[in-house]
């Protein structure tokens, strides 16, 4: 009887000690977790990671420590470690923020398939995370699926209409789809958040140009050049506007200014070559177009334009050779006067 009571007392003592140690471990775990949070808040992520790790060693079910440790690794651009730690968190927690963190890590590691999968998991886990919609839209945009990306940018805006980057990326998408009026609306919204952004000003001006509004095109492209006089796309776009207005001297000045910054830019050389052709300065046009084809012998637009120049110089054989090469490399046959080559 005495031995049985003693055995029972020993068992109870062990249980008590185990519970006491568990409680002590929990206290120390939270102490370490709080230290980790303090370091996290002042961006000392190495120290934060150390204390979050100490916390989970003492209390393995402390999910928030895993999550914040994963965020700390992410903020240090240690994306592989971030994924490893967030996987521990996801063993017991399925939150949209955790799936989003994993998706962003895969995205920044250029593992696009996995990124898309976990962005979708984040969306399904909770539809109130606009960043998941946004970055899935970014991937779809980068892969050329503009119609699909448009839907995700719109979802992001529907959830949070206070983010300029959402409007800017949707504007880029509308521009790719050649829906210029809607692109203009979104660029204008983006400008409310980024007032002097040279890229937005330049893109907005280009869309006005494509929407047959030269006045506003010039207005915003000049604003872009006030911000950065050497911004090549704005100079190029302003040159295109003046080319469309048959103001060839102004067009040449902007193309030439951009070429003084980027002297071997084939797009600029093509545009200046076309302008010289319009001005009937055929020698200068040929110089630009010949250079393009010496660098890129598959430039279909340069072949087409050089063919037009040669025709005007009464070199019909040379014109037909260039037009046929333009056709071979993909220029629409309906715009090439191949009937002259029969």
Q: Provide mean pLDDT across the span 205-230.
A: 97
- 3-state SS, residue 110: coil
Helices (H), the chain: 2-41, 45-58, 63-75, 79-90, 96-108, 112-125, 130-142, 146-159, 164-176, 180-193, 198-210, 214-227, 232-244, 248-261, 266-278, 282-295, 300-312, 316-328
Half-sphere exposure of 178 toward its Cβ, with a 13 Å CA cutoff?
2
> What is the C-alpha to C-alpha distance for residues 287 and 279, in angstroms, rounded to an integer?
14
Judged by phi (left if over 0) then psi (alpha if -120 to 50, else beta), residue 144 lies in: left
Look at residue 23 in the predicted model and tell me its pLDDT. Answer: 56
Predicted confidence band of residue 24 (pLDDT cuts 50, 70, 90) = confident
Statement: residue 11 has pLDDT above 90: no
130/263: higher pLDDT: 130
Lowest mean pLDDT among 14-23, 69-78, 228-237, 269-278: 14-23
Look up the CATH superfamily of 94-195.
Tetratricopeptide repeat domain (1.25.40.10)
Statement: residue 81 has pLDDT above 50: yes
End-to-end CA separation in angstroms for the chain: 119
Percent of the chain with pLDDT over 70: 93
Question: CB-based contacts of 34: which residues, under 8 Å, 6+ apart?
Answer: none
Statement: residue 14 has pLDDT above 80: no
Question: CB-based contacts of 153: which residues, under 8 Å, 6+ apart?
Answer: 133, 134, 137, 166, 169, 170, 173
> What is the C-alpha to C-alpha distance for residues 173 and 138, in angstroms, rounded to an integer?
10
pLDDT tens column, 236-247: 999 999 999 999
Taking residue 162's Cβ as centre, other Cβ atoms within 10 Å add up to 8
Q: Provide mean pLDDT across the span 253-268.
A: 94
258, with CB counted inside 10 A (0-12, 13-18, 19+), is: buried
Q: Are 100 and 132 in contact (CB under 8 A)?
A: yes
Q: What CATH topology corresponds to 21-86?
A: 1.25.40
Look at residue 338 in the predicted model and tell me its pLDDT. Answer: 85
> Distance of alpha carbon 110 from its chain centroid, rounded?
13
> What is the C-alpha to C-alpha distance for residues 233 and 258, in angstroms, rounded to an integer?
8
Measured CA angle at 105 (ends 135, 149), to 5 deg: 15
Look at residue 12 in the predicted model and tell me its pLDDT. Answer: 39
pLDDT tens column, 160-180: 999 999 999 999 999 999 999
Predicted confidence band of residue 41 (pLDDT cuts 50, 70, 90) = very high
Instruction: Provide the whole-model pTM.
Output: 0.85
Write the DSSP string, 147-170. Answer: HHHHHHHHHHHHH-TT-HHHHHHH
Look at residue 2 in the predicted model and tell me its pLDDT. Answer: 55
Percent of the chain with pLDDT over 90: 79
> What is the C-alpha to C-alpha distance for residues 225 and 286, in angstroms, rounded to an integer?
29
Statement: residue 149 has pLDDT above 50: yes
Tell me which residue of 129, 174, 178, 177 sits closest to 155, measured CA to CA: 129
- φ, ψ for residue 20, nearest 5 deg: -65, -45
Q: Provide mean pLDDT across the span 136-141.
A: 97
Burial 88-112 (b: 16+ CB within 10 A, else e): bbbeeeebbbbbbbbbbbbbeeebe
pLDDT tens column, 113-124: 999 999 999 999
pLDDT tens column, 316-337: 999 999 999 999 999 998 998 9
Write the DSSP string, 267-308. Answer: HHHHHHHHHHHHTT-HHHHHHHHHHHHHH-TT-HHHHHHHHH
Which residue intervals of the chain bear CATH 1.25.40.10?
A: 21-86, 94-195
Statement: residue 21 has pLDDT above 50: no
- φ, ψ for residue 109, nearest 5 deg: -90, 0
Q: Provide mean pLDDT across the span 40-67.
A: 91
Statement: residue 74 has pLDDT above 50: yes
């Amino acid at each position: 009887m005495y031995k049985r009571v003693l055995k029972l007392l020993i068992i109870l003592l062990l249980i008590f000690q185990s519970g006491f140690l568990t409680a002590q471990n929990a206290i120390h775990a939270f102490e370490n977790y709080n230290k980790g949070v303090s370091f996290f808040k002042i961006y000392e992520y190495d120290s934060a990671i150390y204390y979050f790790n100490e916390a989970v060693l003492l209390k393995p079910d402390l999910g928030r420590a895993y999550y914040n440790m994963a965020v700390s690794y992410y903020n240090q651009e240690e994306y592989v470690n971030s994924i490893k730690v967030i996987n521990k968190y996801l063993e017991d927690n399925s939150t949209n923020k955790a799936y989003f963190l994993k998706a962003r890590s895969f995205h920044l590691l250029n593992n696009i398939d996995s990124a898309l999968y976990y962005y979708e998991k984040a969306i399904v886990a909770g539809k109130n995370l606009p960043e998941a919609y946004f970055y899935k839209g970014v991937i779809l945009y980068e892969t050329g699926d503009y119609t699909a990306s448009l839907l995700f940018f719109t979802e992001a805006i529907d959830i949070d209409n206070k983010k300029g980057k959402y409007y800017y990326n949707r504007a880029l998408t509308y521009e790719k789809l050649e829906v210029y009026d809607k692109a203009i609306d979104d660029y204008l919204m983006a400008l409310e958040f980024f007032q002097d952004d040279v890229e937005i000003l330049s893109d907005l001006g280009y869309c006005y140009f494509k929407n047959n509004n030269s006045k506003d095109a010039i207005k915003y492209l000049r604003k872009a050049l006030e911000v950065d006089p050497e911004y090549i796309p704005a100079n190029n776009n302003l040159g295109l506007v003046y080319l469309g207005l048959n103001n060839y001297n102004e067009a040449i000045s902007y193309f030439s200014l951009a070429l003084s910054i980027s002297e071997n830019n084939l797009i600029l050389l093509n545009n200046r070559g076309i302008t010289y052709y319009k001005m009937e300065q055929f020698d200068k046009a040929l110089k630009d177009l010949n250079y393009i084809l010496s660098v890129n012998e598959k430039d279909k637009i340069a072949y087409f334009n050089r063919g037009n120049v040669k025709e005007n110089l009464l070199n019909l054989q040379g014109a037909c050779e260039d037009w046929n090469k333009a056709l071979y490399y993909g220029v629409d046959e309906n715009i090439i006067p191949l009937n002259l080559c029969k």
